[in-house]
Structure 1
Amino acid sequence: MEQTSEEFFHDFRQELLAGAEANGRFQLDEFMETIAAELVETGFTEGFELCHFRALRGVRVDGYWFNDEGALDLFIADFESRNELMSLTRTDVDAAFKRVANFFDASIDRNLADDLEVTSPEYGLAKQIDDRRGSFSSLNLILFSERTLSGAVQSLPDGEVAGVPTSYHVWDISRLQRQRSSRSHKEPLDLDFEQMFGQGIACLPAHLTTDAYQSYLMVMPADVLATLYGSFGARLLEQNVRTFLQARGNVNQGIRATILNDPGMFFAYNNGITATAQSVETEETDSGLAITKIVDLQIVNGGQTTASLFHTRKRDKADLSQIFVQMKLSVINSQQSEMVVPKISEYANTQNRVNAADFFSNHPFHVRMEGFSRRIWAPAQKGSPRETRWFYERARGQYADAQSKLTSAEQKRFKVEHPKPQMFTKTDLAKFENVWDEHPRWVNLGSQKNFARYAARIGAEWEKSSDGFNEFYFKRAVARGLIFRATERIVSAQPWYSGGYRANIVAYTLAVLGDIAKREKQSIDFLEIWKAQMVDSVLESTIAVVSKVVNDDIISPPHGISNISEWCKKEACWTRIQSRAEAIADILPKEFYDQLVSYEEQIATVRSAKQTQRIDNGIETQRKVLTVPANEWARIYQALLDREFLTPKEAGIFKVAMQIPVKVPTEKQCAVLLDVLDRGRTAGVLVEK
């Protein structure tokens, strides 16, 4: 049964209180970070930096993000930790937007930065706004509210602040509930081409008469595509395509050269775009069928083409009027989308295969991590009688979905076994891992860009050998997560902590600890932390010492750099902190070094875990092959043979599989069979029955 807004509000409030306590954050910070994380995940905004500032003269801001398209997102909160769900009126909305607009206006026109403390986040933001004056393409003012927007507020028309085109967005409790409860866990993007461009887009139906699936071939004017990207940015791109662009940058120089030098040949040279939608509306025109509306357009291949068209038009003032892009649009209903869209995306990207772009939530790495998280019990903490699990959310909303069909008693048991503070996502995992693997700068780039780099790194390692991703890897990741979250709490509790740059301090503190241990040819004993399920007092006091030095370092950036968060994203920041590691090492307690484990011990643990995983992989490979009956292997064999897809050796192995259970393929033969199946599907030779 669907929750009422009041029920959702009370659940959200309890989640917020628990999260604030677990993360050592103020409730306002937890509120902003929780909603922002959801919007980053779904592409509504590219990132989020906390920055609380309010002045008596009606100026306020609570967060920001500068995106790559010259747009600035400024966030403001409507949050008082209310006990009951209340209504958000038009007057409230206008007042909030006025305050955050005043911050932007004062930064540009009234030298606000001159009145602020130079080490504060608000100084860095105000100064950067002033430094970028004249270069903003747009301003997005975004209100996060714990209230529900009054039905009397029908629209929020665009406006202008300090000469910059401005749009207004309200994320109230009802909109957040709609996003969480939508099947795809994101807010659908609805496009009305007639309203936006004065006419529909010509199309050619490319499907048989079926209710389940429709497909259209379209010739998209490049100007339309660039305008859509300019208006909606990353929301237009399916998640793995956003990951790909985050990893690779936005402009493909080959595409740019064609736009500028040979626009008439663009259609011939470019592979085009593959996209999906939940539904479309069409109408017959004098020149044939046209699509007038699309619900939830998502580009699953061709994100780089789209971004390059936008950037080349913006930066090079390119004329796109003579450029057209072919687009294949598949209409997939929401019931099928979770299974079908990743496959369309995977197969569409095979011509330009990039690990980061392939790193779907159903990539074998994530599936394996999920398997460990559902199977492995974490040891009971001291004083607790119960073991628990760490819930890895490889796909957005899994934690909530796992409880949705349970009775209240079953839900209670689920939460005891899988406490909310022990739920972690793909982007959390990327943070936990990258700080220890000497990539703290990546973590400071924001969750999506950090995940993109982690995806590329792990994807490449998985291709070489998947054996390294084993039970030890999972337990070590959880231990790293425990230390990461403990460090957040420790930093927040320090007397010197002023409320800013916590994420930056945490990333560099842990990277320094890893670096110091590495210089000693030793490592933090992650398995011991896994066993204890907590960080002991020795490590806590060590973290407190290192974090103070890191804080003092980052709040003194080189001359000419005003925004400390931006300084923390630069390699030079990490290089400078690293250069001080030796001096930091001298002031750490002796007990810290006593707890480290030698490289030899670590290598032995890793080697043993790899061997166990190799055995598990072999068993799993054989299990998968043996679940397919002999007659099905015979059908697949014939289909591949007809297309001349098999080598003689592979054909021989298929003949063994066709005799299951009389004959059983060996472990190596099973691996070959599964590899052939995968290649056959990717090449389109095999179609799922």
Structure 2
Amino acid sequence: MELGAVLNAREDLLNSSKDDDGFLQQNLLIDEVMPLLLETKVVDSEDINHTYYLSNDDKIKINGYTVNSTGERLQIFIVDDSYLSESNDDFYVSKRNNYEEQFKKAIRLVSSAIQNKLENVQESEPIKPLIAKLGSEDGLTQFDVIEIFLVTLSATVSFRGEEPQLRTIHYKDDNKSFSHRVVGKKAQSKELLFIRRVVDLNYLANIYSSQGRSEPLKVVFKDVIGKNIEVIKAADEEDFESYLCVLDAPILAGLYKRYSSQLLEKNVRSFLQFKGVNKGIKKTIKDDPEKFIAFNNGLTITATEAKTSYYKKSLYLESLDDFQIVNGGQTTASIYFSNKEGLDISNVKVVAKINIAKTSKSKDLDDLISKISEFSNSQSRVSKVDLRSRSPKLVQLKSLSECVLTPSGKKWFFERAKGDFNTQVRKSTNGQKLKNEFPPKKRFTKELLAKYYCAWGDAPHLVKKGGEKVFRMFIENIDPEKGDGKDINRDFYEQLIAKIILFREMEEVYGQGKNAIGQLRSAAVPYAISAIYLWTKEHEGQFSLENIWKQEALSIGLKEYLKQLLVLMNDLIKKYSLSDDYGEFSKKEELWAVIKLSEELDYFMSSDYSQKKLKNT
């Protein structure tokens, strides 16, 4: 990675993070960064709860947070506002303490919230639900890991030599113990694992240049579990080698706690809770832990490089590069959550086969891992759709975006590969012309495409959740494992663009900041669109996506109506949520199930006002 690439990344992020008045906004910067973090699998979704809060007196700050899909990891985001200037004169960082001071602001927030020292924070502050959660018995039980992301538009460098040299700063994980007292109960103690990540220009430029290939996960076993793993070498062939070992369950629990779903990146299934096979795994851990090794199929792990050493004539595995569990992800997660629920896992052992792929070619590696996953997986079937990283349907959509003109004679830009647009700008002899032709409002990525497409359906909670689940739902809808799927033709493309316009203009109607309807835009918009979708199913042909395509916008009358629907949906999410953290609870299907059958929504959608406005799209 060269300094030029870092400068380009900085310019792109600065330009993409400005509001309509040309001012850089920290929340927009985080919105730009989240999809990039999703690419590297360090987050499960690009969705984030924007909760800007700054207290100079308490020396705390937060820009936003999210909770991972399985609930045990709180991920906090802070923007380093020291490097938001558009000047390129002083954005180099060489000392660790520049970043350490920023991390401390988030750590103080967590510590103060757990000890109930932030009770003076106003109820209207978006951060209040998180503070209440951290200060509760429920929150202390739920969270095991606090992961802090410092988003900074600085380049981390070393000044040895004539030119600055890019480098990476890593922080060791910290275990911190907290004592928490609940009224009427004895004080509880909880140990939390703190993970600190510097998301600097070096990191972000690498994601741009990788074109969607995530950063390989390197596991050094002594750093995570305190010891190396004893193995037996089972095969040493031209293109791969294999090792066999028996893993104690606490080792797997420790790995899952540290890396969560990163371990399962190429095994795309996420934890399915304690149902089906996982219920049986939990029962064996509880009733017959010594027999677990006999009952369970074990793990299949892949990597691209292994470091081994001998000690007292035994072979030990020190580290694995590009570590992935491609079979046994459910076993690993079930062991972790069984232990979290208080079950004893000390006598549980799991057989593991570790395959080291010697090929360095990405295509060959993906093919090998896909076949290992498909042929070795017997706990729950992995579909070919899950294993396929590229879909010909997306290629067809890209082709349509390059040739179909809107009624006004313009085109949309479909960024199928991460960073594709910025690459085209730099290759062009007139990059500014390309930027003018395709402003942000006329561009969409495959991740956003999945959200816009699936919002026109009956699963707004999944749209709110975002990430891998909604993208898989989208792919399986247009390109199912059985059958031909959707015809990706001009009609499909025009309807798709209409859905994008509807979604984005409803976001504008909802608003942001002080003039917004509330703090629930990322939930209220897909929930409202789903309400319109269900109404349209009952009144076929009376809401016209075709008209939106032709007009390339929503009418003023329709916008006025949609604002009232969004106000109602905002209120319903608050009313029927079973948690004060409305943003997180809106990811649950049970909330949508209640809202879509509520009397309030039925009354509004069946009113003469709704009938008139929706029929005259």
The 5 Å alignment of 1:139-158 reads: 139-149=146-156, 151=158, 155-157=170-172, 158=174
The 5 Å alignment of 1:36-185 reads: 36-47=34-45, 48-57=48-57, 58-67=59-68, 68=70, 70-79=72-81, 81-83=84-86, 84=88, 86-88=91-93, 89-110=95-116, 112-113=118-119, 115-118=121-124, 120-131=125-136, 132-135=138-141, 136-149=143-156, 151=158, 155-157=170-172, 158-160=174-176, 162=178, 164-165=191-192, 166-182=194-210, 185=213
Q: Deviations over 1:576-626 (max 9, x none)?
A: 365323443437477633445xxxxxxxxxxxxxxxxxxxxxxxxxxxxxx
Distance 1:204 1:86, change over 3 A: same
Paired residues in the alignment total 579
How far did residue 485 of structure 1 move?
1.8
| Contact map agreement 2:53 2:127 (CA 8 A) in 1 | yes
Quick one: which amino acid aligns to residue 234 of structure 1?
S
Partner of 1:615: none
1:490 to 489, 494, 509: 509
Secondary structure of the residue that 1:352 maps to in structure 2? coil
Q: Deviations over 1:132-154 (max 9, x none)?
A: 35313232222111112355995
Partner of 2:227: 198
| Contact map agreement 1:272 1:326 (CA 8 A) in 2 | yes
Does residue 228 in structure 1 map to residue 255 in structure 2? yes
Partner of 2:614: 593
How far did residue 307 of structure 1 move?
0.9
Secondary structure of the residue that 2:140 maps to in structure 1? coil
Q: Deviations over 1:99-152 (max 9, x none)?
A: 22222233222352553124x421121112222353132322221111123559
How far apart, CA to CA, are the structure 2 residues paired with 1:249 and 1:148? 46
Quick one: which amino acid aligns to residue 298 of structure 2?
G
How far apart, CA to CA, are the structure 2 residues paired with 1:595 and 1:253? 51
How far apart, CA to CA, are the structure 1 residues paired with 2:15 and 2:311? 56
Does residue 348 in structure 1 map to residue 376 in structure 2? yes
Does residue 432 in structure 1 map to residue 452 in structure 2? yes
2:465 to 441, 445, 453: 445
Q: Deviations over 1:481-505 (max 9, x none)?
A: 2221222222226975166221012
Q: Deviations over 1:457-477 (max 9, x none)?
A: 638x82453243432444423
Partner of 2:483: 465
What TM-score, normalized to structure 2? Answer: 0.82
| Contact map agreement 2:10 2:153 (CA 8 A) in 1 | no
How far apart, CA to CA, are the structure 1 residues paired with 2:285 and 2:130? 35
How far did residue 233 of structure 1 move?
0.8
Quick one: which amino acid aligns to residue 141 of structure 1?
I
Quick one: which amino acid aligns to residue 310 of structure 2?
E
How far apart, CA to CA, are the structure 1 residues paired with 2:321 and 2:21? 37
How far apart, CA to CA, are the structure 2 residues paired with 1:265 and 1:411? 64
How far did residue 536 of structure 1 move?
4.0
Quick one: which amino acid aligns to residue 470 of structure 1?
I
How far apart, CA to CA, are the structure 1 residues paired with 2:432 and 2:379? 47
Secondary structure of the residue that 1:566 maps to in structure 2? helix
Does residue 564 in structure 1 map to residue 570 in structure 2? no
How far apart, CA to CA, are the structure 1 residues paired with 2:196 and 2:219? 18
Distance 1:170 1:506, change over 3 A: same
| Contact map agreement 1:76 1:143 (CA 8 A) in 2 | yes
2:280 to 223, 232, 254: 254
Quick one: which amino acid aligns to residue 96 of structure 1?
Q
The 5 Å alignment of 1:501-516 reads: 501-516=520-535
The 5 Å alignment of 1:246-395 reads: 252-336=278-362, 337-349=365-377, 352-355=380-383, 358-362=385-389, 366-377=391-402, 379-381=404-406, 385=409, 387-391=410-414, 393=416
RMSD: 3.7
Partner of 2:572: 553
Quick one: which amino acid aligns to residue 82 of structure 1?
S
Q: Deviations over 1:204-235 (max 9, x none)?
A: 14232x2x443333433333222111111111
Quick one: which amino acid aligns to residue 465 of structure 2?
L
How far apart, CA to CA, are the structure 2 residues paired with 1:302 and 1:12? 40
| Contact map agreement 2:447 2:467 (CA 8 A) in 1 | yes
Quick one: which amino acid aligns to residue 171 of structure 2?
L
- Stretches of structure 1 that go unaligned for 5 or more consecutive residues are 597-689
The 5 Å alignment of 1:413-428 reads: 421-428=441-448
Percent of aligned pairs sharing the same letter: 22
How far apart, CA to CA, are the structure 1 residues paired with 2:345 and 2:274? 25
Secondary structure of the residue that 2:355 maps to in structure 1? strand
How far apart, CA to CA, are the structure 2 residues paired with 1:398 and 1:272? 39
| Contact map agreement 1:203 1:219 (CA 8 A) in 2 | no
How far did residue 175 of structure 1 move?
1.9
How far apart, CA to CA, are the structure 2 residues paired with 1:184 and 1:7? 16
| Contact map agreement 1:281 1:293 (CA 8 A) in 2 | yes
| Contact map agreement 1:378 1:389 (CA 8 A) in 2 | no
Quick one: which amino acid aligns to residue 230 of structure 1?
K
Distance 1:592 1:182, change over 3 A: same
How far did residue 294 of structure 1 move?
1.0
Highest Rg: 1 or 2?
1
Secondary structure of the residue that 2:228 maps to in structure 1? coil
How far did residue 549 of structure 1 move?
2.4
1:217 to 230, 244, 256: 244
| Contact map agreement 1:557 1:567 (CA 8 A) in 2 | no
| Contact map agreement 2:285 2:348 (CA 8 A) in 1 | no
- Stretches of structure 2 that go unaligned for 5 or more consecutive residues are 160-167, 180-190
Secondary structure of the residue that 1:409 maps to in structure 2? coil
